[in-house]
A and B are shown apart, each in its own frame.
Chain A
Amino acid sequence: NAGVTQTPKFQVLKTGQSMTLQCAQDMNHEYMSWYRQDPGMGLRLIHYSVGAGITDQGEVPNGYNVSRSTTEDFPLRLLSAAPSQTSVYFCASSYHRVPGDYGYTFGSGTRLTVV
């Protein structure tokens, strides 16, 4: 099924551990991004990519790294997990950087708890 696939759906980490949240899309979208959503709040942009090999920082990039080696995949790496990174992480994609006819397609999210 076409869409944005995020794995894992749930994850518990210990403080200081590292991990990679996976995001893949099969719609040939150029633009991909990562958001985090804390309880009762809106989404905040972490990093984004306008195409393979190109990434840039969003609103809250500290503590996270990204890479875009292929059009399909946009993994998010937590370098040294902290309790403040406990959140729900959403990956999104769209055809272009500029507004398009369909907006973003979001994944179903990864619920991360750092203890």
Chain B
Amino acid sequence: DAKTTQPTSMDCAEGRAANLPCNHSTISGNEYVYWYRQIHSQGPQYIIHGLKNNETNEMASLIITEDRKSSTLILPHATLRDTAVYYCIVSLRNNDMRFGAGTRLTVKP
């Protein structure tokens, strides 16, 4: 499975959009891009996933580049409760979801 590269940490002002990048230059054609987040010491929470097309749900939007080598998770109006570690994962299968170190997003008042 492809590996991902994410910034270690990011800050965002409350109410502004948070754009979290992820590079996955070795992604294969059948691999999905998943995003999860982990708030404090809770269990990770699924956010969104996609294959080729951009995706949107009630939590976030996922923008995948045309060559699929990178993606961006967008939280349109970040709140303090969005402060968390965000994980970008590429995988073919649920049994091989590799959670790296992720990006620590801090939303500031």
Residues of A bordering B, CB below 8 Å: 4, 31, 33, 35, 40-45, 48, 50, 56, 58-59, 88, 90, 92, 94, 96-100, 102-109
Contact = CB atoms under 8 A, between A and B. Distances in A.
Contacts of A31: 94-95
Nearest to A94: B94
Given A42-B101, A103-B49, A90 B43 contact: yes
B5 to A, nearest CB: 13
B93 A102 contact: no
B100 interface: yes
Nearest to A90: B43
Given A42-B101, A109-B41, A103 B34 contact: yes
A55 to B, nearest CB: 11
Interface residues of B, number: 24
Interface string B49-83: 10000000000000000000000000000000000
A50 B32 CA distance: 19
8 contacts: A42-B100, A42-B101, A90-B44, A100-B94, A104-B46, A107-B43, A108-B42, A109-B41
A97 B94 CA distance: 5
Contact of A42 (B49, B96, B102): B102
B42 to A, nearest CB: 6
B94 A96 contact: yes
The 9 closest A-B pairs by CB, nearest first: A106-B43, A103-B46, A43-B99, A42-B99, A99-B32, A42-B100, A48-B95, A106-B44, A90-B43
Contacts of A33: 94-95
